[in-house]
Structure 1
Amino acid sequence: MTGSVSQMLPVIRTRSQSRSSSSCSFTDMDYSDTKQKSHHVLSKLLMAAVLTAFCVVILRQPPNFSAPNPFSRREPGVTHVLVTGGAGYIGSHAALRLLRDSYRVTIVDNLSRGNIGAIKVLQEQFPEPGRLQFILADLGDAEAVNKIFAQNAFDAVMHFAAVAYVGESTLEPLRYYRNITANTLMVLEAMAANNVKTLIYSSTCATYGEPEKMPITEETSQFPINPYGKAKKMSEDIILDFSKRTDMAVMILRYFNVIGSDPEGMLGESPRPELREHGRISGACFDAALGIIPGLKVKGTDYATADGTCIRDYIDVTDLVDAHVKALDKAEPNKVGIYNVGTGKGRSVKEFVEACKEATGVDINIEYLSRRPGDYAEVFSDPSKINRELNWTAQNTDLSKSLQVAWRWQQAHRNGYAAPLAMAF
């Protein structure tokens, strides 16, 4: 129960007064029998005295408010992180890592792409008060975003929330600019209004486009070639311009193709069925291995690469979230850090498919198709800067092993996350 003293006491008084009027009114008494009536009068007076004393005691008691919401106040030694998009694949793994590291976590997600089942898993693992809260909200709703920031004492924001499929972005560009760029602006405005000074931004190698030289460094020119990459670069530009006028601590992580899942089997990747066409290649491989789809469609076999298929840098999700935590630990006021998060090694799609066959033990049927719009031939990172400045190096670089871990989760969750019985937002 919440409220102020001025709100609570009138209610208590009303109840007391009601009791007094019903128990202590003598206007209707009959005086025909004096002794009997005197006895009644004394009984009534005694009852009135008791009730009056009871009312005084009640009024003098402090209101019985519930304990203050721990998420609404800052505590020494406790870092409260807002994880936007925390019900999604990467965001949920980041929330899990933060919770394991004793951070206080608030997840905000509209569940358009995220999974309520992932939230349920996190809540079951960390049920203690003040550890985790989930808020169902859309970052495009200015009123909701402002209310969330006003009612919670955030120390930092990890901003994952986004739509994130290259192919889909070419079909629905306005959706991508609104969801990524406009919503990032909304988050920044709320941070500024509520004095939240640390931002870890989830960006992408798609901002580089198709560079002429490999590997990609942080100094590689950014010329994105699809709306997804363009929307992310616009968000980066907004963040960088804003940071020049404030003392914010900003970390921008541009990461590459994410695979894998939590080694303990808590979380995994579970995209909505209607998004399988646009999803990650790992999800398509697993769907094919499970018989959900008849086979795997490889788009593009005529690229200027050794085997004609695209080359990508595949980063395990546990390594990725480790980079985010290290970035949070190293974030400093008035400083901006920009880092590529990858293994530094490119693998072709054909290599990936063979690793997926090995991990699943299934001879997946492969269908080769024309190129996907907005795609590029070769992208892999030079991670030397993040290794040097944040002491981060990818630990899970065996493609087959990362896929084996993810495959175990997929086998145990053939229908994705089980729907929770109940959920309080």
Structure 2
Amino acid sequence: MRVLVTGGAGYIGSHTVVQLIAAGHEVVIVDSFVNASPSVLPRLEDLAGTSIETHSFDVRDVDKTSALFAEGRFDAVIHFAGLKAVGESSEIPLEYYDNNLGTTFSLLRAMQRHEVGTLVFSSSATVYGETTTVPMHEDLPTSATNPYGWTKVMQEQILSDAARAGGPQIALLRYFNPVGAHVSGTIGEDPQGTPNNLMPFIAQVAVGRRARLQVFGDDYPTPDGTALRDYIHVEDLAAGHVAALEHLGAHPEIDVRAWNLGTGQGSSVLEMVRAFEAASGRPVPHDVAPRRRGDLAVCYADPTRAESELGWRAQHTIERMCADTWRWQAANPQGYNA
């Protein structure tokens, strides 16, 4: 297929681009580079062994997006583009709603106008809200606890309604906690400013960019008192996108379907710290801080549906996740813009 990847220069998008090309698909990237660095592009081309057509603009620009579709002759879209920091979304909620919903409206209009019939959407386990049901399965009701999460809930609803009204086929891929990096160490997670997620913060402490890690809460009802999360290697996540894309292509009767992408087991914050110390040979000093409001004690996926329907299953252990993250961080201590 000829696939347009929105946000294809970002963390998950870049790893998916490499796997799409390896699977024989032709890829075009569009990215505003708000949360990504243009420095990733030559690295992607080296890994893929081919040039990659790339366009730099915001998908909310309806005219530019429509013009790209008019010229692109795409078979499918994988939609990663969007703002993604939970804390920031509570500080600037209107920007999150405008950006995340706006890109989706613009894409759907262009897809309808140019008869592109398949879309794989980057959703999130945040759509399960404050449920205490674990493992979390796709039939749970959706909700959210922050503006970022609500944008994902709303995007899922918009996409589902469009699909059921005769629009494109839609895959809703609900991620849990993406971590890791390409085994080459040439592409990985490069958050701007203070990392919002655990693994890049641990990596930056280990490499000396930050002094200490804050562990939010050590009094949860878990084996070591710290929160359990479902960490999934970004390479497994990328493989899930390729599997969903190809599954939709083989099953034209599907209008919209959600799949969890996770390992199906939880690892604690302190387990991840110890695994990273073992992988890096570096200490990760940390302090315990109070729990954050809204944090769940335990959150992990039921990935049964993805395994049975997509033939996909997460392959990589937390040891591999940490080793690959450290290889990336050690080789790129200041990220892409060193």
Specify every segment of 5 or more residues in structure 1 that has no aligned partner in the other structure, as ranges: 1-78, 420-425
**Cα distance in 1 for residues equivalent to 2:296 and 2:92:** 19
Change in CA separation of 1:373 and 1:193 when aligned onto 2, cut-off 3 Å: farther
Amino acid at match of 2:120: I
Q: Does 1:299 align with 2:222?
A: no
Q: CA deviation at 1:418?
A: 5.0
Q: Does 1:387 align with 2:290?
A: no
**Cα distance in 1 for residues equivalent to 2:22 and 2:173:** 21
Match of 1:76 in 2: none
**Cα distance in 2 for residues equivalent to 1:381 and 1:164:** 20
Match of 1:404 in 2: 323
Q: Is the 8 A contact 2:277 2:283 kept in 1?
A: yes
User: Among residues 29, 32, 46, which one is paired with 1:107 in the alignment?
Assistant: 29
**Cα distance in 2 for residues equivalent to 1:157 and 1:393:** 23
Q: Which secondary structure state, in structure 1, belongs to the residue aligned with residue 43 of structure 2?
A: helix
Match of 1:244 in 2: 164
Q: CA deviation at 1:181?
A: 1.8
Amino acid at match of 1:113: N
Q: Does 1:201 align with 2:124?
A: no
Match of 1:361 in 2: 281
Q: Is the 8 A contact 1:243 1:334 kept in 2?
A: no
Percent identity between the aligned chains?
38
For residues 21-420 of structure 1, what are the structure 2 equivalents within 5 Å?
79-126=1-48, 128=50, 132-246=52-166, 248-272=168-192, 274=193, 276-277=194-195, 279-331=196-248, 332-335=251-254, 336-396=256-316, 398-418=317-337
**Cα distance in 2 for residues equivalent to 1:414 and 1:98:** 28
**Cα distance in 1 for residues equivalent to 2:176 and 2:303:** 11
Q: Is the 8 A contact 1:226 1:374 kept in 2?
A: no
**Aligned Cα root-mean-square deviation (Å):** 1.6
> Which structure 1 residue ranges, 4+ long, deviate > 4 Å from structure 2?
125-128
Q: CA deviation at 1:373?
A: 4.4
C-alpha distance after superposition, 1:83-139 (max 9, x if no partner) = 1101100000000111122211111101010121111212344564xx520100101
Specify every segment of 5 or more residues in structure 2 that has no aligned partner in the other structure, as ranges: none
Q: Which secondary structure state, in structure 2, belongs to the residue aligned with residue 283 of structure 1?
A: helix
Greater shift, 188-197 or 359-368, is seen at: 359-368
Structure 2 length-normalised TM: 0.94
Q: Is the 8 A contact 2:229 2:298 kept in 1?
A: yes
**Cα distance in 2 for residues equivalent to 1:296 and 1:266:** 25
**Cα distance in 2 for residues equivalent to 1:150 and 1:294:** 50
C-alpha distance after superposition, 1:282-317 (max 9, x if no partner) = 110011001101111122334343333221100001
C-alpha distance after superposition, 1:200-256 (max 9, x if no partner) = 001000000121221101111212111111110100000000101115221111010
C-alpha distance after superposition, 1:290-346 (max 9, x if no partner) = 110111112233434333322110000111111110111110334122100100001
Q: Which secondary structure state, in structure 2, belongs to the residue aligned with residue 417 of structure 1?
A: helix
C-alpha distance after superposition, 1:357-415 (max 9, x if no partner) = 1111112110222233443332101111111111111110x212211111111111112
Q: Is the 8 A contact 1:313 1:347 kept in 2?
A: yes
Q: Which secondary structure state, in structure 2, belongs to the residue aligned with residue 321 of structure 1?
A: helix
Q: Is the 8 A contact 1:218 1:338 kept in 2?
A: yes
Question: Highest relative contact order (Cα 8 Å, sep 6+), 1 or 2?
Answer: 2
Change in CA separation of 1:209 and 1:94 when aligned onto 2, cut-off 3 Å: same
**Cα distance in 2 for residues equivalent to 1:226 and 1:410:** 30
Q: Which secondary structure state, in structure 1, belongs to the residue aligned with residue 39 of structure 2?
A: helix
Count residues with an aligned counterpart.
Answer: 335
**Cα distance in 2 for residues equivalent to 1:307 and 1:172:** 35
**Cα distance in 2 for residues equivalent to 1:259 and 1:235:** 24
Structure 1 length-normalised TM: 0.76
Q: CA deviation at 1:175?
A: 1.8
Amino acid at match of 1:184: T
Greater shift, 171-180 or 105-114, is seen at: 171-180
**Cα distance in 2 for residues equivalent to 1:256 and 1:191:** 28
